[in-house]
């Protein structure tokens, strides 16, 4: 296929997704998930970090028995409470959540790049422990589901329910993109969905333990992520970048 044909095909695909994004904008998260299953079947996956939004989606998938593959990026640096939540969710809904590990263990990374790379070069650490493993997983599918919301960060403000993911070259489905934090927590409490107990201890956004701190009253809910740096994203939802 020549470059002109490829460009035409991409334009048609983007137009198709734009029509569905408009259609799904007023639909429920469950309807967005069901649409994704209908469109992509076994070429679909859901990456979760077990945040409140991810737990909502696991609840919807689990209670409706939707045939959606679920995995989490096990960086080896997550909180013990996060590992415990992982097990609780699997037991509650009778499903399997795959753990995807980076090429290097934490000890292996220290041997190659020095101790506590996350303190010296957090972008490189996230890239190796999250972005590279995610890219390998997404290379096997046509679409992935995320739990992002528009009001979480400026980078996510323009996200659509379904959109092309230029970073990974597949389709991205964001069922909760229109929801607010209040809606997320209302769902968790109404359906008694397991969630990370750290949220009750001042951690509204939870990532790897070395790079996550409690948030003070009045601070942004992501202020505890990479505190003291300009970093606000781990690189999974940002623009494309070259491989490191």
Question: What are the domain boundaries of the chain?
Answer: 27-196
Rounded mean pLDDT, 6-30: 79
The neighbour count for residue 57, using CB atoms within 10 Å, is 25
- Answer yes or no: is pLDDT of 18 > 70: yes
pLDDT at position 10 is 47
pLDDT in tens, 179-224: 999 999 999 999 999 999 999 999 988 999 999 999 988 888 788 8
pLDDT of residue 238: 53
Catalytic residue among 125, 208, 211, 234: 234
Q: Is 234 a catalytic residue?
A: yes
27-196 topology per CATH: Rossmann fold (3.40.50)
Choose the weakest-confidence range: 116-120, 162-166, 177-181, 223-227: 223-227
Residues 93-119 pLDDT 10s: 999 999 999 999 999 999 999 999 998
Look up the pTM and report it. 0.86
Backbone torsion region of residue 29, taken as left when φ is above 0, otherwise alpha when ψ lies between -120 and 50, otherwise beta: alpha
Residue 137: name the closest of 179, 109, 165, 157 by CA. 165
């Amino acid at each position: 296929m020549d470059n002109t044909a490829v460009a035409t095909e991409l334009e048609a695909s983007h137009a198709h997704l734009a029509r569905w994004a408009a259609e799904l904008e007023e639909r429920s998260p469950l309807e967005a998930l069901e649409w994704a299953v209908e469109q992509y079947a076994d070429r679909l996956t859901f990456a979760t970090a077990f945040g409140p939004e991810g737990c909502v989606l696991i609840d919807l998938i689990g209670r409706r028995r939707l045939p959606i593959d679920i995995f989490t990026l096990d960086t080896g640096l997550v909180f013990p409470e996060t590992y415990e939540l992982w097990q609780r969710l699997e037991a509650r809904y009778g499903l399997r959540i795959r753990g995807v590990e980076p090429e290097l263990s934490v000890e292996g990374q220290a041997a190659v790049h020095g101790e506590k790379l996350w303190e010296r070069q957090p972008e490189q650490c996230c890239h190796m422990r999250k972005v590279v493993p995610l890219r390998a997983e997404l290379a096997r599918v046509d679409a992935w589901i995320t739990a992002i919301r528009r009001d979480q960060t400026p980078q996510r403000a323009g996200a659509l329910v379904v959109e092309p993911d230029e970073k990974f070259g597949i389709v991205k489905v964001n069922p909760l993109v229109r929801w607010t934090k209040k809606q997320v927590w209302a769902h968790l409490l109404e359906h008694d969905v397991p969630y990370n107990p750290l949220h009750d201890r001042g951690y509204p956004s939870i990532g790897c333990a070395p790079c996550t701190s409690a948030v003070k009253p009045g601070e942004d809910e992501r202020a505890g992520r990479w505190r003291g740096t300009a970093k606000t994203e781990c690189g999974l939802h940002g623009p494309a970048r070259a491989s490191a």
